[in-house]
A and B are shown apart, each in its own frame.
Chain A
């Protein structure tokens, strides 16, 4: 079965709408983000939940992060910080032999960001140099040295799509609210749409802002279907619900019979549900199991 045929069709909007589990790490906070590069300091005391997270924050949150005692991990909203990411404007640049220090400002405060220069690194060409007033996204860890806080940056890249600045602040708000007030009750899945949609080569260069409208105004939505589910998709789910599914999954032909849809309609619906992470293949590509209880 070649689902690739549908790739360019109208189905991309489903993913971009950020439905069930497809979108950002606001729902999966505590998940696998940044797992491979986590805990450079190797603190054993880190809780499992926040051990490998990348948290979007504002500089004000960084400046107000609490530290129970001098060697402890910093906390924001009572959750330990590991990796964090922020979007800010460079105010000044100071380049030394071993590190570059930037003063950054995101409107909520200002913070020093240090990036160590790797001896083996190829020197940046003039075009890659970061300039004052440029907006950048920074990934790093919060450090304190001599009572002064700075961010140890692993990665800094210029912002090219300025929507990312506003997006980042909305994302930081969404995470803050989730951690202080709990996940949104009815629209827990919809709010995920605020999260990262990374297209192609990582780093969220193309930031999809989908999902906000749904989060704000999506009243009265049915809980029985994934948000934005197509007609065929709903029909398929109804059919599957009408009869217990075999653990080995169901053949697509059988699904077509059960739902009264054509084979290609079933395939489209499965493609849509696959994008949302609600279907997996079992015995072979033609047998699928729908995670109806997750819907």
Chain B
């Protein structure tokens, strides 16, 4: 199935090179069309246009993982200030562990 976008975080980027993924992180820095997210590790993402990412907020991006482990953002959704990142970290692990209800392969 091509429409799946696995939820991952920084440590898993390596396994998803070339694939479209979903990643939630806290925005730690924004410069031009690039931004740095913290998602159990540092992730550099690139946006097409000027980003509307807000530093300190959590954001969910859907994007493609480049070979250098940066992510090209297709869409982004602001998740606000009160997102519990520990829950996301646990969820990423659970999605990997119980793939049968989340993702093929």
Contact = CB atoms under 8 A, between A and B. Distances in A.
Contact of B75 (A133, A166, A167, A177): A133
Contacts, number: 68
Interface stretch (B11-19, B42-50, B65-73, B90-98): B90-98
A166 B23 CA distance: 12
Interface string B33-75: 0000000000000000000000000101000000000000001
Given A60-B103, A135-B77, A108 B4 contact: yes
Contacts of B84: 163, 166, 209
A166 B88 CA distance: 7
A110 B3 contact: yes
Interface string A150-182: 000000000001110011011011001100000
Interface string B75-88: 10101101110011
A107 B4 contact: yes
A176 B95 contact: no
Interface residues of A, number: 26
Given A60-B102, A162-B58, A170-B90, A107 B80 contact: no
A145 B77 CA distance: 32
A89 B77 contact: yes
A58 interface: yes
B30 to A, nearest CB: 20
B91 A170 contact: yes
B26 interface: no
Tell me the dominant secondary structure on chain B's binding face: mixed
A61 interface: yes
Contacts of B6: 107
Nearest to A177: B98
B94 A162 contact: no
A169 B98 contact: no
Contacts of A275: none
B90 A107 contact: no
A99 B6 CA distance: 31
Nearest to B1: A109
Contact of B102 (A58, A162, A167): A58
Contacts of B83: 162-163
A109 B82 CA distance: 27
Interface of B: 1, 3-7, 22, 58, 60, 75, 77, 79-80, 82-84, 87-88, 90-91, 94-95, 98, 100-104
27 contacts: A57-B101, A58-B101, A60-B4, A60-B101, A60-B103, A60-B104, A61-B101, A89-B77, A107-B4, A108-B4, A108-B101, A109-B1, A135-B77, A161-B80, A162-B60, A162-B79, A162-B80, A163-B82, A163-B84, A166-B88, A169-B7, A169-B91, A169-B95, A170-B90, A173-B94, A173-B98, A216-B90
